[in-house]
Structures are given as C-alpha cells and as structure tokens.
Structure 1
Amino acid sequence: MSATAVEQAGAVAGEARQQAGTALRDLQDRMREEADSQVQRLSGTLRQWADDLAGLAQNAPGDSPVRGVVAQASDGGHRAADYLDKNGVGGALTDVQAFARRRPGAFLGGAALAGLVVGRIAKAGKKGAQPSSGTHAQTHQSDEADEAASQSLGEVAPRPQLPPHPGV
C-alpha cells in the first residue's frame, strides 16, 4: 500500500511540474507578445514624430541653421523606428548588452545622463501640475494653515533656537 501512495505522490508531483512548466511558457509567450506590441507602438510613435520633424524641416527657410538639425533628427527617428521594426525587443536588448560589455564607462555615463534627463522631466512635469495662479500672500496663508493643521494633529513643532548664554 505504501508503494502505491509513493507512486501516486510521484504522479501528482510530475503533473504539478508539467502544469507549472506550461503556465510558465504561457506567461513568457504573453510577455513576449506584449513587449512586441509595445515596441510596435513605440516604433509607430517614433515614425510619426520623425515625419512631423521632416515636415518642419521642409517648411523651414532654406538658410535656417535649425533646418539641418531638424532634418538630422528626423532621419535618426526614422532609422530608430526601422531598427525597432526589424530587431524588436530582443535585438535591442542584445545590442545594449553588447555595448555595455564593450564600453562599460560610456554605458554607465549614458545611463546616468538618461537618469538625470528623466528626473528633470519628471520634476518639470510635477511643477507644471501644481497650481501656479496664486499670490505670495495666498501661498504664505496656505503654509500657515498647513502648519496649524499639523500641530492640531499632534505633530510637535520644532523648538525655537535660543541665543547662546553670554556667560558661556
């Protein structure tokens, strides 16, 4: 009887392993499909921006120094969109990993710079979301109200600094 129980336990464990493997493969497939979908959307957005920039460059005066820069940005956008269409997420990730191995300093510097840019954009977006229509007096009153509210909630106000004793 114990041999039958061991066999049944083994069969149950094997079935559980098989179902877990199937669930993992399904999850990986769904993640890959979602990533591919997002890359296609990104590629389409890049291509649209590049087309918009190309239109700006075409409508710019011929002697404008900005025209060349905008045209180069448009070409770069088209190349990036084409690259994403051709290589997808896997190709982009492989290329980034290869670059990081070849030039780790440049990769880390670029990552730090990208982090700073994203941080500045997020900070600017946060400031833009705050209401800016108010006078200094209104802001001061609001600060006083916030301080009063925090004190009424039981928060301890900071102690005032006393001047040093003259005899010390």
Structure 2
Amino acid sequence: MSESAHVDTHRAQQSGDGSRGFTDTAREQTRAVTDQARSQARTTAHDLRGRVTDEADTQTHRTAGAVRQWADDMAGLARNAPADSPAQSLVAQAADQGHRAADYLDRHGFGGLVEDVQGFARRRPAAFLGGAALAGLAIGRLVKAGRAEADGHGSDGHGADETEQREV
C-alpha cells in the first residue's frame, strides 16, 4: 500500500472515530436531558397533586363549617317549634344528621371522603351508578334553572323582553 493510501485510510479511521464519539456524546446528552425532563415532570406532578389535595381539604373543611352552621340553624328552629309538632321532630333529626355530616367531614377530610365513595362504589356498583346518575340529573336541572334565572327567563322559558315584543 502506498504511503498516500495509508494516510487516507488513517484519516478515514480518525473521521469514523470522531463521528462515533460525536454520536456517543449526543446519545449521552439526550439521555441526560430526557432523565432531567422526567424528573422535573414527576416533581411537578407531585407538587400539583399536593396543592390540589391541600385545596380540596380546605374546601372540605369550609363545607363542613357551612353544614354545621346550617345544622345549628335547623336545631334553633326545632327548639322554637311546638313540642308536639311532627315538623319539630323532623327538623331536629335533620339538624342532628347535619352535625354528624359536618363532624365526619372534619375528621376524615377530602381523602377520607374519596376513599369511602370508592369503597361504596366497589361494594355496590349498581347503587353507586344509580346515585351518580340521579346526582347528575339533579345538578343538571339546578344549573339549567340557574341559567334561566340569570338570563331573566321565568319557568315558561320566556324572558321579559320576549313578552314585551309579543304584546306590541
């Protein structure tokens, strides 16, 4: 082999070694960036989960306070009602149940509430799905009624402006 061919072969090997080194470095850097991105995503998800849980617990305790206030109001109504009234007994029972619900929310918080609902759904899936469907219908009706009220529509679905236009 001539000396120039040998030099060309040597240069080709060096060039190949250099590109292999570049490829290896690029792979290592890509792996490092990917690992860092995964780590940051995990940290962000953990932080977000913590914030959501904290906010849910805060709202649960706020709800417990509102339920307790409602139960106190009901208990006051029951105390002021005639003793022989059937309504007095029902209102007193509702107040007692309200106090129990508020105490439960304070003791268990949002996480306990979620665990209990999940447990009920596992034990009695048909009852859970039926209850969820009824709750969805009730919420839908409340939202629809709220929108109609906000838009100025009465129960007949017509607003005051439409009524005035029909009369003219």
Q: Which residue of 2 aligns with 1:48?
A: 69
What root-mean-square deviation, in Å, do the aligned CA atoms of Structure 1 and Structure 2 show?
A: 2.4
Give percent identity, aligned residues only.
Answer: 56
Q: Which residue of 2 aligns with 1:91?
A: 112
Cα distance in 1 for partners of 2:166, 2:64 equals 47
Q: 1:1-168 to 2 correspondence within 5 Å?
A: 1-2=21-22, 3-129=24-150, 130=152, 138=164, 140-141=166-167
Shift of 1:42: 0.7
TM-score, normalised relative to structure 1 = 0.73
- What is the SS of the residue equivalent to 2:38? helix
Q: Deviations over 1:50-72 (max 9, x none)?
A: 11111111111111111111111
- What is the SS of the residue equivalent to 2:83? coil
Distance 1:6 1:134, change over 3 A: closer
Distance 1:102 1:61, change over 3 A: same
Distance 1:16 1:105, change over 3 A: closer
Structure 2 regions of 5+ residues with no counterpart?
Answer: 1-20
Shift of 1:137: 5.9
Moved over 6 A (4+): none
Shift of 1:108: 2.3
Between Structure 1 and Structure 2, the one with more helix by share is 2
- What is the SS of the residue equivalent to 1:62? coil
- What is the SS of the residue equivalent to 1:20? helix
Structure 1 regions of 5+ residues with no counterpart?
Answer: 143-168
Q: Which residue of 2 aligns with 1:164?
A: none
Q: Which residue of 2 aligns with 1:159?
A: none
The code of the aligned residue for 1:56 comes to L
Shift of 1:123: 3.7
- What is the SS of the residue equivalent to 1:63? coil
Shift of 1:135: 9.8
TM-score, normalised relative to structure 2 = 0.73
Shift of 1:86: 1.0
Distance 1:9 1:78, change over 3 A: same
Shift of 1:34: 0.8
Cα distance in 2 for partners of 1:48, 1:131 equals 32
Aligned residues: 142
Distance 1:7 1:38, change over 3 A: same
